[in-house]
Structures are given as C-alpha cells and as structure tokens.
Amino acid sequence: MKTGIGRLRKFDAVLARSGRLTLTKTPVTKLVREPKMPKSSRNLPTSGYAIMIDGLVKTEFATRDGVEIAARDLKRRFPMLQVKIYDAAAGQIVA
C-alpha cells in the first residue's frame, strides 16, 4: 500500500475521472532561503585587553585588573557563558 504524496495523487486522479474533483494547476512557489546572520564586525583590539563572550569580543579594557574583575563578575552572574580574556599585546587568549 502506498503512502504519502503518491497515494494522494492517485486518489485525486480517480476523483477527477469520476467528475467529483476538478484538478487545476497551482503555481509552484520557489523556496526562498533566508539570509544568514551577518558575522560580528568587531575586530580584536590592537592594545589593552578585551572580554570575549562565547567567542565574540564584547568589551575592551585598558588594564588587566579591570578586565579580570569584569570577567569574574560576568561568570558569577551568568555561569553558562563562556568568558575569555584576550591580551592584545601578547596576541592570545589568556583565560
């Protein structure tokens, strides 16, 4: 026994032959792809430090103490976030 679209088409053809259904061609709509979200345009800083949350640069700081305090506070308030510190002078992620 067929299921799905093939079964419905066969059933529609039987009804159309018996005069109980009029088949009309309906325009086929094209599938439209949704545009992708643009990537973050925020670049890594050239000096100082930055907080990276879930891989995205959010805030820049001049001192290491300031960025560490802010990172600890964010991690305390939102433990599910992935919080890292980027050191621009070293060019690497510190924590």
Domain containing residue 72: 49-93
List of long-range contacts for 39-44, beta carbons under 8 Å, 24+ apart: 44/86, 44/88
89 residue type, one letter: A
Question: Does the residue 89 lie in any domain?
Answer: yes
pLDDT at 8: 56
Question: Does the residue 86 lie in any domain?
Answer: yes
Question: Does the residue 4 lie in any domain?
Answer: no
Is 27 exposed, middle or buried (CB count within 10 Å of its CB: 0-12, 13-18, 19+)? Answer: exposed
Question: Does the residue 32 lie in any domain?
Answer: no
pLDDT at 50: 93
pLDDT at 22: 59
Averages of pLDDT over each 10 residues, the chain, 95 residues: 56 60 60 66 83 90 94 94 93 85
The total domain count for the chain is 1
DSSP secondary structure code for residue 51 in this structure: E
